[in-house]
Structures are given as structure tokens and as C-alpha cells.
Amino acid sequence: MATMGAITMSTSLMPRMSSSSPPSSSPSFTPLESPTPSLSSLPVRPLPGSYGLPLIGPLWDRLDYFWFSGQDKFLRKRMDKYKSSVFRTNIPPSFPFFKKTNPKMIAVLDVKAFKSLFDMDVVEKRDVLIGDYMPSTSFTGNMRVGVYLDPSEPKHSQVKEFCTDILKRGSKQWVPELLTNLDTMWNTIEKDVTEKGSSTFVFPLQKAMFRFLTKAIVGADPLPSLGENAYISFDLWLALQILPTQPINILQPLEEIFLHSFSYPFFLVQSGYQKLYNFIKTEGQDVVRRGVSDFGLSEDEAIHNLLFVLGFNAFGGFSVFLPVLLGNLGNDQTGLQTRLREEVRSKIDPTRPISFDSVSELELVQSFVYESLRFQPPVPAQYARARKDFVLYSHEAGFSVKKGELLFGYQPLAMRDAKVFDEPERFVADRFTEWKGGRGLLEYLYWSNGPQTGSPSSANKQCAAKDHVVFTACVIVADLFRRYDSFVGTSGSITAIEKAK
Ligand code: HEM
């Protein structure tokens, strides 16, 4: 067994909250025993790994990472070779055209070492959202928006508190807007399944998410002025920024030649971005004004930060996470749908609209959402630069890290750390339930760039919407099982739907 120590649970699983804000996901529980010996008893060793020969090493590693092995195998091979979950390696983008980007990093692949990435005393988060590579600031109005700011920079607090305020103020509209747009989405999917036998749901899903998030965050409906396909502007704007760091896995070697060798310029997506900017400036006046008057941002800073939070964080995050969530349900063969449906129908009053409050009663639904976030973390990599020399501890040893070195935390492997998660390679939908003794594991669930038991604040870099994301996903699952008895599908399409009888 790989689970750590005994967990004593409190009987209250979730505190009851006002219906408009998401309940905190911090359960009350007696902390787990430390999975490893105390730090002082661990040996401090030299960091294993190598960066290879100049130019050839980074180029070879880049091809291996994106092409020959793929990310997971690339890292697992080295983890086995060095017998360590912390080691030196190149991570692309790199040679030949990314001359200013330094691929030399320290891979961090276990739960314990990963925690150092959240310790703002020892690491800095300045300009490292997607590694040493940073897309041109022309994508964000020629400014460094909040996600690129370190908590030591005063503007970080202004932007993060602005974002927290937006979420708080928008929370009354959040669930009703979500449900309205889900209604439209499911109608389209049902029609496709009836007429064509299947529905590729990514576009209806993105349409629904874009409209719901814009209404909840900006407070204005994008449909009348921008039309129903405006979300595509965000897709293109997002893709161009992150392409050099993302494996696409379809068309090698063209992918290496055309997508991972250079960065694309902003002007290709400028007109779509400008339309979104104009929309927020004219129709999101209230929220922009609050950014200016209450948080000391300039109008331009408020708008570009809103665009980033809406397009990159919120729309981008949900566009990755929700297909995975639906896929985990649609292809399940274990009877999970029946169990979830029974929980939803027995615990939620059918005569009342679903709310964050009502889904806080759904322990299995929540656990299923947490397990989906563990099994395939939507944002796989997090980076942080050593603020000073320090010792980074894995389960087995400490490693001296020098000031300025870049840590590369890779969640898909850290979240399968066998020292923490029992049967880590298996999707266990009730892993995080009280009856399974798994609520304490939330401390080790890191998808939001921090523990699920942590609190996002201006002093850290944890996702401002940590609880909103979880409870939004719970509402989507609850809504689904109110509408349907079952459905069949993958993370790309739905092939059968059985309406609730
Ligand atoms: C499934 C959806 C989402 C996922 C997977 C996600 C994930 C993340 C992650 C991993 C980070 C840390 C990035 C880093 O510094 O390395 C982050 C930061 C952030 N997220 Fe989210 N997020 C999601 C949705 C949202 C939403 C809906 C909002 C707001 C409406 C939001 C607002 C933010 C903000 C403002 C930050 C920056 C925090 C800071 O600079 O301190 N996110 N998110």
C-alpha cells in the first residue's frame, strides 16, 4: 500500500456557504503523517542529470521530448536512469532559433519536492508562466499581465485582488449563466447525436463557456456585438502564445519544423484581440472602472488583465479541463455514471435550481472532479526560479539548488507519486471521499498551482478561481445527471445519450 498514515476525519465534510460563492474545498481533517522522514535526516546529494553537449544536447532533448519519446516517457526514462524524481534536464523550447531561451532546468516530479514551487520565500515567479520562454508582451497590450508578475511586485496584488473581487461580485450570476449556456450546449449536442449519430462537442462547449464566462466576469453579453464565433479569436490568440511549448502529437516532423522552431507574431491575431478589447472597453465599463478606482490600475491595465483572465485562465483552462471530465464519464465501464446519478438525484432537490451550495452535498461528484484534476492536470507544467540558494527535498534526499536556476514541475507525474497516492496509475473516482479515507489527500492535489487545501492570495501564485473551478465542474456533472440517465462518449465526442426517465 502506498497510502500515507491514518486519517481521522471530522464529520462535517463541507462547511455550508451562502449559495452564491463556492464553498471552500478545505476540509477539516487531522493532517496526514509526513510521507517521508524529517528533512534533517535526509542526505543532501548532488543533483543528478545532465544538459548534454552544447547545442546538440538541447536539440536532441527537444526532439526526444516532443517527438521520439513524448513528455511523460522522456521524463520517466530519466527518472529511472537517475533513480531520482529530481534531476537536471533540458526542457524545450530551445536551439536553434530560441537563442534567448535557456532550456536548462531542474525537473521536479514528486509531490514533496513539488511543494517548493509554491514557497515564495525560496522561489520567484517572475515571467515564468510557461518556462524561460515568454511570449511577446504585444499579445497582452505591451505589458506584463498578472500571471507573469511575482508576488513581490506590487502590481501583482492589485491584479490578483481585482480578479478575486470580480469572482466575488460575479458569483450571483455565475451558476445561472452557466446553466443557461449548458442548456444551449446540450440542445446542440442532442440534435447532433440524433441527426448524425455523434457530436464533436468541443465547439458547442467552447461557445457555451465563452458566453457564460464573459457574462460572469465582464458582466456583458458578447453575442449581440461580437457574434457567436468570437471565442475562436481567443483560441488563436492562446495557441500562438503557447505553441513553442506544446506537443500536438499529430504531424511530425512538420510539427518540429513549423510549430516548435520559432514564435509566431502577434499581428496574425491582432484584429480578433482588438475586437475583444473594444468589447470590454465599451460593454464592460463597470468592471473596468472598478479596476481603476478600487485597485489602482490604469484603464488599459484593467482591460488587458481582464482579457487574459477571461481568455487564457478561464476560457483556456475550462477548454482543456471539461473535455477530459466528460471523457472520464463517457467512457467509464465501472458503473460510475449510475453511482453519480443516484447521488445527484437523491441529494439535490429536483424542484430547485442547482447551486454551489447544493453541489457541496455531493461527495462522490466532488471526488470524481478532484480525481479528474489529479489524473490529467489541465495545466501540466509549472515553473519557478530559485530566489536564493536552497535545499530542495524530495522523499529520499535533499538537493542544493543555486539562485537563478529554473525548476520545472510536471504535474502529470507528480500527481502519480506512489508514495502519496495509492494505485496512482488507476482512475479511482471515490479516491477523495471521506468513506475512502481520502479527504486528507486534498493537501497533495496541486492542479491550481497550490494545494487544494490552500488559499489563493496576493502573497502566492495559486489560481484565483481554485474553488470556482471545482464547483463549476460539480454543477456541470449534477446538471448532466438531472438531464440524462446515461451517455456514451470520449473527451472528443458524444455518441449516445439517454434522457432522464
Ligand atoms: C479549469 C480552469 C482553470 C485552470 C485549470 C486553472 C489553472 C491555473 C494555474 C495552474 C495557475 C498557476 C499558473 C502559474 O503561475 O504557474 C492559475 C493561475 C491563475 N488563475 Fe486559474 N485556472 C482555471 C480557471 C481560472 C478562472 C476561471 C480564473 C478567473 C476567473 C482564473 C484565474 C487565475 C489567475 C488570476 C491566476 C494567476 C494567479 C497569480 O498570479 O497569483 N483561473 N490558474
Task: Write the pLDDT tens digit of every residue in 386-439.
Answer: 999 999 999 999 999 999 999 999 999 999 999 999 999 999 999 999 999 899
DSSP 8-state code for residue 471: H
Instruction: Tell which residue, 368, 286, 288, has the closest CA to residue 327.
Output: 368
- Work out the average pLDDT over 255-275: 92
Kindly report which listed range (70-84, 235-249, 413-427) carries the lowest average pLDDT score: 235-249
In the predicted structure, residue 34 carries a pLDDT above the cut 60: no
- Work out the average pLDDT over 298-318: 98
Q: How far is the CA of 448 from the centre of ligand 1 (A)?
A: 7
Give me the residues paired with residue 406 across strands.
105, 385
Kindly report which listed range (211-220, 252-261, 289-298, 363-372) carries the lowest average pLDDT score: 252-261
Q: Determine whether the shortest distance from the Cβ of 317 to ligand 1 is under 6 A.
A: yes
Instruction: Identify the pLDDT of residue 248.
Output: 84
Q: Determine whether the shortest distance from the Cβ of 461 to ligand 1 is under 6 A.
A: yes
Q: Decide: pTM greater than 0.85.
A: yes
CA distance 467 to 464: 8
Instruction: Tell which residue, 425, 468, 405, 465, has the closest CA to residue 116.
Output: 405
Residue with the smallest CA separation from ligand 1 atom 32 is: 464
* Residue 381 near residue 412, CB atoms below 8 Å: no
Q: Report the percentage of the chain scoring pLDDT > 70.
A: 92
* 298-301 contact pairs (CB < 8 A, 24+): 300/141, 300/143, 301/141, 301/143, 301/155, 301/159
Higher-confidence position of 309 and 98: 309
CA distance 355 to 443: 25
Instruction: Identify the pLDDT of residue 20.
Output: 57
Instruction: Tell which residue, 336, 322, 317, has the closest CA to residue 426.
Output: 336
Q: How far is the CA of 313 from the centre of ligand 1 (A)?
A: 5
β 398-401/381-386 pair status: unpaired
Domains with residue ranges and CATH for the chain? 39-499 (1.10.630.10)
Residue 412, class by beta-carbon neighbours within 10 Å (0-12 exposed, 13-18 middle, 19+ buried)?
middle
- Mutation probe of ligand 1 site: the residue of 160, 210, 313, 469 with most atoms within 8 A of C-beta: 313
State the average pLDDT for the chain: 92
Q: How confident is the model at residue 25 (pLDDT cuts 50, 70, 90)?
A: low
Q: Determine whether the shortest distance from the Cβ of 160 to ligand 1 is under 6 A.
A: yes
